[in-house]
Chains A and B, each alone.
Chain A
Amino acid sequence: MWQFLKTWYHRLASPKWFYHTSGRWLPYLAAVTILLLVSGAIWGLGFAPEDARQGNSYRIIYIHVPVSVLALVGYYLMAVAGAIALIWKIKLADMVMVSAAPLGAVLTFLALLTGSIWGKPTWGTYWEWDARITSMLVLLFLYLGVLALSRAFTSRDTAYKACAILSLVGTVNIPIIYKSVDWWYTLHQPATIKLTGGSTIHPAMFKPLLVMIIGFYCFYALVLILNTRAEILRREQRSAWVRELI
C-alpha cells in the first residue's frame, strides 16, 4: 500500500502522466459535478422549507456558503501547492498553484457579491463593515496581489516561485488578519446584526446545502484540473508528447 502510494505520488509529479490520467477521469468527475449541482440546486431552491424570518431570500446560501468555503480553502490549496513546488521543485505543483489563483479570486468575488445581494433584504444594506465581510475583502486583495505578481514576470519560472513565496507569506498572515479584523470589529461596533440569531440550521435546509458544498468541491476540482491541463500544454509546448497531441 505504502509502495503504491509512493509510486503514485512520484508519477503524479510528471505533467505528462497527470495530463493523460486526468483526461481519463474528467468525464466521470464532470458527470458527478453536474449531478450534484443540479440535484442540490433543485432540492435547495425548490423543495427545502422556507425560512421563518427571511422567507425565500435565505436560499442564496446554497450558492453563498459553498463559494465562501472554497474561496478560503482555495487559498490554502494554493499556498500548499506553492510550498510543495518550492521545497521539492515539482513542476506540476507550480502549475496547480498558478491555476488556483484566478479561480480563488473569482470565488472570493462571488462570495462577496452573493453576500451583498443577500444582505440587502436581510440587513437592509448591500455593504456592512462586518468582520467576516472585511476579512473576505482582504482575502480578495491577497488573491489579487498573487495574480498581479504572476503576470508581472517575463520568466514563467520566476513568476511561479515569486507567487509561491507571496502566498506562503499570506498564509502565515491570514489567521492574524482574521483575528485583528474580528477584534477591530468588536471594538468599533457592538454586534447589532446577528444573522442566524443563535439558531442552528434545520436539517431539512442543511441536507441540500451539504449536497451543494460537495458539488462545489467537485466543481472546484474540475475547473482546477482543466486550468492545470491548459497550463501544462502551455508550458510543455516544446516537448515531444505535446507536439504529438496537437
Chain B
Amino acid sequence: MVSESGFGALLRRDLLLAFRSGGELLNPLVFFVMTTSLVPLAISPSPLQLAVMAPGMIWITALLATLLALDSVFKDDFDDGSLLPLLLCPQSLWLSVLAKVLVHWLRTGLPITLVAPLLGIMLALPEAGFLPLVIGLACGTACFSLIGAVGAALTVALQKGGVLLSLIVIPLYFPVLIFGASAVQRAVEGLQYMPVLALLGAFFAFALLTTPFAAAAALRVGVNG
C-alpha cells in the first residue's frame, strides 16, 4: 500500500471543501469585479482618463480581493478544530501551510488573474498592458497569498481579526504592488517591462522560500490566542 503524502491529501480536502461551500468560492472574484466597476462611476467614464488609472486600479482591487479571503485561510479549520491535528501530525507544518496557501491562491489569485483582462478591456487599458498585467497578477497574487498567510496565522485565534489582519499585512504588500503596477504602466508607455516582472518574480521566489516557515512559526504562536 502506498501511503499518500500529507500535502496532497490536505490539498484535495481543502479544495473539496472550497468547492462544496458553493457561493463562497466565487465571492472574492465577484468582489474584485464589483469594486473595479466602481472606478469609472467615481472618477470618469472617459477612456483617456480610465486608461491612465487602469493598471493601478486593477492592482489595488486585486489586492483588496485577496485580502478579503485571507481571514479564512486558517480560521475555518481553527474554528471546527481540524487545525490542531495538523499542528500535531508528524508532517512538517510548513508543508501544510504551503498547501493552505496554494488553496487560497487557487480560490483568489487564479480567478482574479483570469478575469483581469476582461476588466482591462472595461477600463480601456491599452493593448500593450495585457500581457504584463496577467503575468504580474499571477505572480503578485501568489505573493499576496504567501505573505498574507503569516498575518492570517498570527490572528487565527482572534475573534475580530479581520481588520487587524489587513493592518498588519498591507505594509508588507507595498513592494509587490509597486513592481506589479509599474510593470503594466511601463508596458503602456512603451518601455521595457520584463526587468520589473523579473524583480517581481525574484520577490515571489524569496517569499516562497521564507514565508511558509514564518507562517508555520506564527501558527504555533497564534493558536494559543
Contact = CB atoms under 8 A, between A and B. Distances in A.
Interface of A: 138, 141-142, 144-146, 148-149, 152-155, 157-158, 161-162, 165-166, 168-170, 172-173, 176-177, 179-181, 183-184, 187-188
Interface of B: 150-151, 154-155, 158, 160-161, 164, 167-172, 174-175, 178-179, 182, 186, 203, 210-211, 214, 217-218, 221-222, 224-225
Which secondary structure characterizes the binding site on chain A?
Answer: helix
B107 to A, nearest CB: 23
Which secondary structure characterizes the binding site on chain B?
Answer: helix
B174 A165 contact: no
Contact of B221 (A161, A176, A177, A187): A161
A71 B138 CA distance: 35
Contacts of B222: 158, 162
B178 A180 contact: yes
Most buried by A among B155, B167, B211, B221: B221
A153 B158 contact: yes
B203 to A, nearest CB: 7
Contact of B161 (A152, A170, A176): A152
Contacts of A176: 175, 203
B178 A181 contact: yes
Contacts of A187: 182, 186
Given A162-B221, A165-B217, A166-B154, A138 B182 contact: no
17 contacts: A141-B170, A144-B167, A148-B164, A148-B167, A148-B168, A149-B154, A152-B161, A155-B225, A157-B224, A165-B150, A166-B150, A169-B214, A177-B174, A184-B178, A184-B182, A187-B182, A188-B182
Given A158-B221, A166-B154, 20 more contacts: A138-B174, A141-B170, A145-B169, A153-B225, A154-B225, A158-B224, A158-B225, A161-B221, A162-B154, A166-B150, A166-B151, A166-B168, A169-B150, A169-B172, A170-B171, A170-B172, A172-B210, A176-B203, A180-B175, A184-B182
